Amino acid sequence: MTTTSSTNETTDGYGDPYAATGSDDTEGARVYNASGGDWDDLVEEAAALHDERIVVNMGPQHPSTHGVLRLILELDGETVTETRAGIGYLHTGIEKNMEFRTWTQGVTFCTRMDYLTPMFQETAYCLAIEKLLGITDQVPERASIIRVLMMELTRISSHFVAMGTGGMELGATTVMTVGFRERERILKVIELITGLRMNNAYIRPGGVAQDLPNGVVSEIRDMVEGVRGGLHEFELLLTENPVLRGRTVDVGYLDLTGCMALGITGPVLRSTGLPHDLRKAEPYCGYETYDFDVITRDSCDAYGRLRIRIDEIHESLKIIEQTIPRLEATAGQPVMVQDKKIAWPAQLAVMSDGQGNSLDHIREIMGESMESLIHHFKLVTEGFRVPPGQAYAAVESAKGELGCHLVSDGGTRPYRAHFRDPSFNNLQATAAMCEGGQIADVIVAVASIDPVMGGVDR
């Protein structure tokens, strides 16, 4: 990559097409022009060495790259000698856009990063805001229980997609249909609670957007029973299948040393035998009060990661079952902090369709209290102020450690919001997993990482 610069003039025949030469607003401005890239470097190197090497672009529109991921593979026959991951094709500017929205509006951005794990992003972001506000201990117990419920539902949904798409890429289309069938059970409950299947913006600073609708607990019980049956079918299809074992055992190998060097977390790390899980190591939302096991394997390969995801679904179902009596015991309790300078109205599930603001709230702000109307208008349009400082909060996402680092300058919107998305870090392992293996094993290795490019590029 070569970079040249100029001061208000063209360089190598290129200039700034938006700058008028000699104009006052561009006087002294520097224009940067970039050229070249990894593809050109590879071609020039091969030509200089007179090597007959095959360099293949796998993606960014390849069906097995889990989104718009570009893998640059250098091949010697069927053997992969070098692997490079090219990212940035799904860049959305979410982190930058969050600087121009209020703290609450930021939830609608971060939920769209890894579109398969929205609840984890929302929770990490809100936990960081609550740290800055100093209201972590004021979040109602019922809101924390609902957050745990939503995160574990999301973990199951994400794992089913990871295993279903991974199976399809190996030619096992039945695995895909079974996986998505079971995911639909999860999404039905999520939609019943939040009104949306994905991009929910349900978890808010100080609590959650609304309480659970009537009858949802019985739906959760039915869902748990149905998913357990479907998961058993999933295990019969996969775990002892000789074809699947032949494609996944000792494939995508990455040991503990490699994981520690690259900052890998989640199922990839736990497949090396290390029981690292933030729900146990640094509990949040009351996870320390739930009974569940951290699932590990010691195979360090794609097969071990598959078995971990299956077993983690069993553990998530156990946690969901433990939330049910807690939800019943806290029925009627608030789901948002009591500080009205922070809390958006959370009494929403009251209309005939289960959505809409509380009628009492509408009556007060529209007909009884001018002060309430003004406060509601300022809270929604301007937002609340967060004291200056910075905070980091992390949760155990389905793919690994998901962290949110927020910086506040005392205003009504973030000065900076940055996320540690596990897919971004875990994708660094692609070269270590693939080099020296067969080109067909690249598909298996990437599927075992389970990257989602929305979270990688942000």
Per residue in 310-345, pLDDT (tens digit) is: 999 999 999 999 999 999 998 888 888 888 788 776
User: Is residue 352 predicted with pLDDT exceeding 80?
Assistant: no
Average pLDDT over residues 371-399: 84
**Strand residue runs (E) in 360-452:** 389-397, 400-408, 416-420
Q: Where are the domains of the chain?
A: 1-35, 95-342+384-452
Global confidence as pTM: 0.83
Q: Which fold has domain 95-342+384-452?
A: Cytochrome-c3 Hydrogenase; chain B (1.10.645)
First-to-last alpha carbon distance for the chain, in angstroms, is 23
Average pLDDT over residues 192-221: 88
Torsion of CA 439, 442, 444, 448, to 10 degrees: 170
- Residue 135, CB half-sphere, CA atoms under 13 Å: how many? 23
Average pLDDT over residues 42-51: 69
Of these ranges, 31-45, 124-138, 357-371, the one predicted with the greatest mean pLDDT is 124-138
